[in-house]
Each structure stands twice: as structure tokens, then as C-alpha cells.
Amino acid sequence: MVGRNPFFTAVAVGAGTMVALGGSTILVSGMGIAVAKRVARTKRLKMARPCSQCGGEGYLACDVCLRACIVRCRAPRSMRDIMNDSRSRSSAARKGAEPTTAETTPAVPVYCSCPACGTSGYQRCLNCLGDGRV
């Protein structure tokens, strides 16, 4: 029967110990930091006064979509189409020609979700950062 090499056993035990100690250190320090942040936030909010912008709510009605949750945006176009349009417009401008009917006809409206509120209708107050207190 062949015995185990004591060197590899020592390396394995040392590595296991380092992993266990490192993991426990990360866990304990993470919990300590979370508790410290919560205590600091509680103390800060206890002494703060309500926000005048949002009235202590922390959120405001969306200024971009006016709580409609959708905005009118332009239709997506490929870069090739954009480049072709710019070339044709510049050549027409050099020649002094009238714009074509394709350039003057309005496009079909395309509606997109509001990028500011994400279709919720509300934005986080920038004065109090959503806490409701300043």
C-alpha cells in the first residue's frame, strides 16, 4: 500500500485553512459594513427635515413623459440609410434642387417607453435622492 505524500497533505490543509479564514473574514466584514451603513443612515434621517421638492415622498411625477409612460421617438434606421440620405441631401443642396417627396412626408409616429422613468411614471427626487429627507 502506497502512503500519501505528506507535502501534498500539508499544502491541501494550508489551502483549505486559507479559504476558510478568507471566507469568514469577508462574511464578517460585509455584515459589519452593512450594519454601520444602516446605523449611519438612520442617524442622518432622524435629524433631517422633509424634502421641499418632493414633499418627503422621495419620488416626483416624471417630467419627460408627464406620467404617460411613453414618448414619441424616431423610427430606428440603419447607418447605411442615414449615410445615403445625407449624401443625397448634400448633392441636392449643391445642385439647388427641391427636396423630394420622401424627404418632406412625415414619418409614421413611433412610440417608445420613457427612458427617464422606465414606464413607472415616477422619477426619483434628485434633491433627496429618494430618501424623502434632506
The gap from C-alpha 56 to its chain's centroid, in whole angstroms, comes to 24
Residue 81 CB coordination number (10 Å) = 10
Q: Which of 33-37, 76-80, 83-87 has the highest mean pLDDT?
A: 33-37
- Determine the length of the chain: 134
Q: Tell me the per-residue pLDDT of 2-60, one tens digit each, with 9 for 90 and over.
A: 558 889 999 999 999 999 999 999 999 999 999 999 999 899 888 999 999 999 999 99
* Position with higher pLDDT, 28 vs 101: 28
Q: Could you tell me the residue ranges of all domains in the chain?
A: 53-69+114-134, 78-108
pLDDT score for 1 = 44
Predicted confidence band at 98 (pLDDT cuts at 50, 70, 90)? low
Closest C-alpha among 60, 59, 44, 56 to residue 132 = 56
pLDDT score for 101 = 53
Predicted confidence band at 134 (pLDDT cuts at 50, 70, 90)? confident
To 5 degrees, how large is the angle CA 8–CA 13–CA 15? 95
pLDDT score for 31 = 96
* Position with higher pLDDT, 48 vs 74: 48
The yes-or-no verdict on residue 62 having pLDDT over 50 is yes
Closest C-alpha among 115, 132, 113, 134 to residue 124 = 132
Q: What is the DSSP string of the chain?
A: -PPPPHHHHHHHHHHHHHHHHHHHHHHHHHHHHHHHHHHHHHHHHHHPPBPTTTTTSSEEE-TTTTTSSEEEEPPP--HHHHHHHHHHHHHHHHHTPPPPHHHHSPPPPEEEE-TTTTTSSEEE-TTTTTSSB-
